[in-house]
A = this chain, B = another copy of it.
Amino acid sequence: MPAISARGKQMPASPIRKLVPYAEKAKAAGVQIYHLNIGQPDIKTPEVMLNAVRNFNAKVVEYSHSAGNESYRRKLTQYYQKYGIELDYSDILITTGGSEAILFGMMSCLDAGDEVIIPEPLYANYNGFSTAGNIVVKPITATIDQNFALPPIEEFEKVITPRTKAILICNPNNPTGYLYSEDELKTLREIVLKHDLYLFADEVYREFTYDGAQPLSVLSLSGLDQHAVVVDSISKRYSACGARIGALVSRNRELMATALKFAQARLSPPTFGQVLAEAGMEVPDSYFTEVNAEYTRRRNVLVEGLNNLEGVFCPMPKGAFYVVARLPIADSDHFCQWMLESFHYNGKTVMMAPATGFYATPGLGKNEVRLAYVLNEDDLRSALVCLREGLKAYPGRIAATKTPAAQN
């Protein structure tokens, strides 16, 4: 039997999805599961977008341009203008989800053996795409006690080598919900200019900032036209994860020309998803106001609820719809699996993502989990009750190791 590739073996299983078989078993046994493990919002996709797809009237579902439909790319420049970002439509390449934007961006800028610095905890799939491309992830650790703020510049300097080609941030952050400040972004600008690195920013949660905080794109930082590369997506913006429409955005012409070659190899992004996405321009601002208010309430319910549990600590984040919480456990993989396999409270349990999968440094995240607040307040409250009871019943429970830091 021929062998599997080494990169195939090293490829990490998704920490968000690897527990799916246990969840399926629990469901088959009649247990109801609160899915806090995955960023699949229950928010409705705007009707105006769904109707655009329903009214699709071409006779042939054709390939689009490899860079995406020009009409959609031109409309996207207006979207970015609302955030004060001036772009030409050719600065935008439509991708199959944000995932493909990460892949094309990384492949265009990094060779096998090259290094990318990423603050951890990090979006797990950065590990996956790096493994696929034989790119080395150099993590620098953000800590829960610092509310997952950007580590100091010295930490970056320490890991920079001649093979370092890029820094990658996710802002607002998945999995921590942390929103980088203007000062932190300027720190990053300083370091990428000093060492001539790319600054990748995954900004797919741009619309999700709370308490009046404003998102700042790396595309808005002066002097970074050749360095800044944004990964974007409509998945969360319009609750349209299944449409698989994202974008790679940069003013660096050579980079965009290179990414286009990768895009040509896969022919085109999905046609129906682009139809849906283009209609997104007609969604009124009130949609975002409402969604934002809803997520603010959910965040408050979840974070306050978590911090009310004995031995649990969770910072109050300003963005996205995730939190990373510290639990009184020593093995989050085991705990999350146990919650599905061996526990239910009144026929209900909670599915969470072990934080271990969000660290590139082995051993970290063992007492942390990621929770997505993608359910309504009532469900979140019920999920918190399940978690409280689960923690009480869990044989692996340990004493809380640290007094929580100030909660923001």
- Further contacts, 16 of them, CB under 8 A, given A125-B266, A129-B265: A2-B197, A5-B107, A7-B107, A11-B261, A54-B55, A61-B243, A61-B276, A112-B112, A112-B134, A125-B264, A128-B262, A243-B271, A243-B272, A270-B272, A272-B273, A272-B276
CB A273 to nearest CB in B, in angstroms, measures 6
Contacts of A213 in B (CB 8 A): none
Which of A4, A129, A252 is packed against the most chain B CB atoms within 10 Å?
Answer: A4
- Chain A 332-363 per-residue mask, 1 if CB under 8 angstroms from chain B, else 0: 00000000000000000000000000000000
Q: How far is the CA of A54 from the CA of B50 in the complex (A)?
A: 9
In the complex, the answer to whether B97 meets A266 with C-beta atoms within 8 Å is yes
A residues in contact (CB < 8 Å) with B: 1-9, 11-14, 17-18, 38, 40-45, 50, 53-56, 59-64, 66, 96-97, 99-100, 103, 107-112, 114, 125, 128-129, 132-134, 165-166, 196-198, 226-227, 239-244, 252, 254-255, 258-259, 261-262, 264-273, 276
In the complex, the answer to whether A241 meets B270 with C-beta atoms within 8 Å is no
In the complex, the answer to whether A128 meets B261 with C-beta atoms within 8 Å is yes
Q: How far is the CA of A242 from the CA of B265 in the complex (A)?
A: 14
Contacts of A66 in B (CB 8 A): 14, 17
Contacts of A12 in B (CB 8 A): 261
In the complex, the answer to whether B244 meets A268 with C-beta atoms within 8 Å is yes
Q: How far is the CA of A165 from the CA of B142 in the complex (A)?
A: 41
In the complex, the answer to whether B4 meets A258 with C-beta atoms within 8 Å is yes
Number of this chain's copies in the complex: 2
Contacts of A103 in B (CB 8 A): 266
Known: A2-B196, A5-B111, A60-B45. A14 touches B271 (CB 8 A): no
Q: How far is the CA of A129 from the CA of B264 in the complex (A)?
A: 11
Q: How far is the CA of A114 from the CA of B273 in the complex (A)?
A: 35
In-complex Cβ contact of A111 among B7, B108, B166 (8 A) = B7
Nearest residue (CB) in B for A47 is B59
In the complex, the answer to whether B197 meets A8 with C-beta atoms within 8 Å is no
CB A67 to nearest CB in B, in angstroms, measures 10
Nearest residue (CB) in B for A255 is B4
CB A36 to nearest CB in B, in angstroms, measures 15
CB A256 to nearest CB in B, in angstroms, measures 11
Known: A50-B61, A59-B44, A96-B244. A14 touches B239 (CB 8 A): no
Query: Across chains A and B, which 10 residue pairs bring their CB atoms closest together, nearest first?
Result: A242-B271, A128-B265, A272-B272, A14-B264, A8-B258, A99-B266, A11-B261, A270-B270, A1-B226, A8-B108
Q: How far is the CA of A14 from the CA of B264 in the complex (A)?
A: 6
In the complex, the answer to whether A100 meets B266 with C-beta atoms within 8 Å is yes
Known: A53-B272, A134-B134, A258-B9. A109 touches B242 (CB 8 A): no
CB A16 to nearest CB in B, in angstroms, measures 8
Q: How far is the CA of A261 from the CA of B18 in the complex (A)?
A: 9
In the complex, the answer to whether A165 meets B132 with C-beta atoms within 8 Å is no
Contacts of A8 in B (CB 8 A): 107-109, 258-259, 261-262
Contacts of A226 in B (CB 8 A): 1-2
